[in-house]
């Protein structure tokens, strides 16, 4: 029995479901559109020391350059070649980043765009981030090379070649997603070119991949590509380690394609998570935090060990992709911090924290007409991520991952790693609390009145620093102190008008 358990633990560890994070690091952060030189510095000065497990980086391969609108963020989802050459940096800079991040125990996960190349309307020429020639009219990408034979157009039966009906799995996978030229991944030649690209990144030292638009690829085609991948680089990973795989499958229910079809390949993005959590924290549709007692599979989500979870992502924080208006983002900072705090305290799924840039949001008739805007830039050149004296970021970078409440909850998750979900309490409304074994406890007041109550924390007696209102520094708390008595109980008071109406304490915030 013990031997079998050990084997299954090893199996999980070596397989595509494991993020290969170092010693008890339990979260990744998406540094959306950051330059490689800034990510390398951030790994060394912040992510490593603060216990972040890894970084999802924007697509590193050459993409089309769009001038109308001017350099939108989504141009990076329109590949021209697999050269490591984008606005984020060149291959030397990418290699330097991977090495420096790995050396401080922070993994790199690449956003892999392998479903398609650029849009059908992309024209012809060298308007690409590395100057490679392409011709979207006859589907010629000589820098790979792909030709017209390597695309799905013959297989799509919608007339105009576009996806129209999400209840038809063939359309979703064989036709063009918003006009993007759809690669024929059933061809061994295409699979080999994609695998060569991913293997190049694996050899450099990345730990895994987000598979963009995975729902638009057949699970079996993805598997055929994954079967061609190298094991991770042994400079940083144990021999036999498979790349971590998480597939972007938007499944809110009610469509032909479901997330479970992709479990054999790796983890899957659980889009219900942020949509539902946003609805609860906003108190829409009669939802209450008390209902979060059975959060996770109890809410119809996929199994925890297959889920990659997040409150918002680069798409739905600006109204693209799934989730709708309930999605919480940095624009709703107070509610957002509660949602991210809840996610990081709760054991369900592997967690990803979003780190964004600000843009000129401009709603007209309910739609943000600037949802296309790319990262902070000077004439198209991405701006450096500068760090202010108070440790926040400048130059238009939001850096949610540096907000004290979020950074400290990333640490909380590490401290309680592996501990069971215990001591749930709620008031039948929006005041809830729960613990993680005898290692951590969190209390929320999202009601419109004060919370004042004594709760069983499960923690050993002592004085603990609340890591939401402050930090433990030099053996003292800069924020609220919580006294846990010998029976594990502690009194909590949280005003409904507190800057952050939640409190979190854990084994390492004890004085
Ligand atoms: C692994 O990374 C090291 C360090 O960058 C490099 O020297 C080595 O060639 C890589 N291994 C493979 C198989 O590419
Ligand atoms: C919620 O909490 C408050 C104070 O802790 C309490 O007065 C109230 O009765 C509780 N229940 C509901 C349903 O509001
Ligand atoms: C801890 O900080 C509080 C104020 O937050 C202060 O009153 C107290 O003297 C400090 N204690 C120590 C031991 O430094």
Tens-place pLDDT, residues 378-425:
999 999 999 999 999 999 999 999 999 999 999 999 999 999 999 999
Q: 209: part of which helix (H) or strand (E)? A: strand 208-211
pLDDT of residue 323: 83
CA of 450 to the centre of ligand 2 (A): 9
Q: Angle, nearest 10°, between helix axes 333-345 and 271-281?
A: 130
pLDDT of residue 15: 83
Residue tagged 């598979």 (tokens)? 211
Non-local (6+) Cβ contacts of 69 within 8 A are 372, 373
C-alpha of residue 114 to centroid of ligand 1, in Å? 24
Question: Which atom of ligand 2 lies at the shortest distance from residue 452's CA?
Answer: 5
What was the pLDDT predicted at 190? 98
- If one counts every other C-beta atom within 10 angstroms of the C-beta of residue 236, the result is 19
Say which ligand is closest to the CA of 99.
1
Question: Known catalytic residue: 212?
Answer: yes
- Cα(424)–Cα(289) distance, integer angstroms: 12
Spans in the chain with pLDDT lower than 50 = 1-12
What are the counts of helices (DSSP H) followed by strands (DSSP E) for the chain? 10, 29
Report DSSP state, residue 247.
E
Q: Is residue 203 lining ligand 1, measured as CB closer than 6 Å?
A: yes
pLDDT of residue 14: 64
Look at the block and give the residue holding tokens 């031997």. Answer: 3
* Residue whose CA is at the smallest distance from ligand 1 atom 3: 235
Ligand nearest to the CA of 205: 1
The pLDDT of residue 4: 43
Question: Do the beta carbons of residue 14 and residue 20 sit within 8 Å?
Answer: no
CA of 52 to the centre of ligand 3 (A): 29
pLDDT at 6: 45
> CA-CA-CA-CA torsion for 259, 262, 266, 270, nearest 10 degrees?
-10
Contact 414, 398 (CB under 8 A): no
Alpha helices by DSSP H, 58-215: 91-103, 169-174, 188-204
Q: Whose C-alpha lies nearest to ligand 2, atom 9?
A: 427
* Residue 450 CA, closest ligand 2 atom number: 4
Ligand 2 mean position to 429 CA, how many Å? 7
Residue 213's CB: how many other CB atoms inside 10 A? Answer: 22
Rounded CA separation 377/216 (Å): 32
The C-alpha atoms of residue 273 and residue 165 are separated, in whole angstroms, by 24
Cα–Cα distance for residue pair 108/236, rounded to 1 Å: 12
- Identify whether 44 is a catalytic site residue: no
Residue 465 CA: which ligand is closest? 3
User: Residue 213: which of 178, 243, 255, 189 has the closest Cα?
Assistant: 178
Both tokens of 436, joined, read: 């993680």
How far is residue 200's CA from residue 24's CA, in Å, rounded to a whole number? 28
Kindly state if the Cβ of 102 falls inside 6 Å of ligand 1: no
Ligand 2 pocket, CB under 6 A: 427-429, 431, 447, 451, 453
Q: Tell me the backbone φ, ψ of residue 282, rounded to 5 degrees.
A: -80, -10
Per-residue pLDDT reduced to its tens digit, 464-496: 999 999 999 999 999 999 999 999 999 999 999
Catalytic-labelled residue, pool 93, 212, 287, 315: 212
In this structure, the residue with its CA closest to atom 4 of ligand 1 is 235
């Amino acid at each position: 029995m013990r031997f079998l358990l050990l084997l299954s633990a090893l199996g999980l560890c070596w397989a595509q479901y494991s993020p290969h994070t170092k010693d008890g690091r339990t979260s990744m952060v998406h540094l959306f559109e950051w330059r490689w030189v800034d990510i390398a510095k951030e790994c060394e000065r912040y992510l490593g020391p603060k216990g972040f497990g890894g970084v999802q980086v924007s697509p590193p391969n050459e993409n089309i350059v769009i001038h109308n609108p001017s350099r939108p963020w989504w141009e990076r989802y329109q590949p021209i070649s697999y050269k490591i050459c984008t606005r984020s940096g060149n291959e030397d800079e990418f290699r330097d980043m991977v090495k420096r991040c790995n050396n401080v125990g922070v993994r790199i996960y690449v956003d892999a765009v392998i479903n398609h190349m650029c849009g059908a309307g992309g024209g012809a020429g060298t308007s690409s981030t590395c100057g490679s020639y392409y011709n979207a009219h006859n589907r010629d990408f000589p820098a790979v090379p792909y030709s017209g034979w390597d695309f799905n157009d013959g297989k799509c039966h919608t007339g105009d070649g576009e996806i129209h009906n999400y209840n038809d799995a063939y359309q979703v996978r064989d036709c063009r997603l918003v006009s993007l030229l759809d690669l024929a991944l059933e061809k061994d030649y295409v699979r080999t070119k994609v695998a060569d690209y991913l293997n190049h990144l694996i050899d450099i030292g990345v730990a895994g991949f987000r598979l963009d638009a995975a729902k638009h690829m057949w699970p079996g085609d993805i598997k055929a590509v994954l079967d061609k991948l190298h094991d991770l680089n042994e400079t940083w990973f144990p021999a036999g380690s498979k790349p971590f795989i998480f597939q972007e499958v938007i499944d809110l229910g009610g469509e032909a394609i479901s997330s479970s079809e992709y479990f054999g390949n790796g983890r899957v993005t659980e889009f219900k998570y942020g949509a539902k959590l946003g609805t609860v924290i906003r108190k829409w549709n009669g939802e209450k935090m008390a209902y979060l007692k059975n959060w996770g599979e109890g809410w119809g989500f996929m199994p925890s060990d297959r889920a990659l979870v997040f409150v918002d992502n680069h798409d739905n924080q600006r109204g693209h992709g799934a989730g709708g208006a309930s999605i919480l983002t940095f624009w709703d900072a107070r509610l957002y911090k509660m949602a991210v705090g809840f996610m990081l305290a709760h054991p369900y799924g592997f967690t990803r924290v979003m780190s964004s840039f600000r843009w000129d949001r401009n709603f007209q008739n309910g739609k943000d007409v600037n949802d296309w805007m790319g990262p902070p830039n000077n004439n198209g050149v991405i701006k450096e991520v500068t760090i202010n004296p108070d440790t926040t970021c400048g130059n238009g970078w939001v850096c949610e991952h540096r907000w004290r409440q979020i950074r400290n909850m990333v640490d909380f998750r590490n401290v309680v790693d592996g501990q069971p979900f215990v001591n749930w309490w709620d008031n039948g409304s929006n005041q809830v609390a729960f613990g993680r074994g005898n290692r951590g406890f969190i209390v929320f007041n999202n009601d419109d009145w004060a919370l004042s109550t004594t709760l069983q924390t499960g923690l050993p007696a002592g004085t603990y620093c609340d890591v939401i209102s402050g930090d433990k520094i030099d053996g003292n708390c800069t924020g609220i102190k919580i006294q846990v008595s010998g029976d594990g109980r502690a009194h909590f008071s949280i005003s409904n008008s507190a800057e952050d109406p939640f409190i979190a304490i854990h084994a390492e915030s004890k004085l």
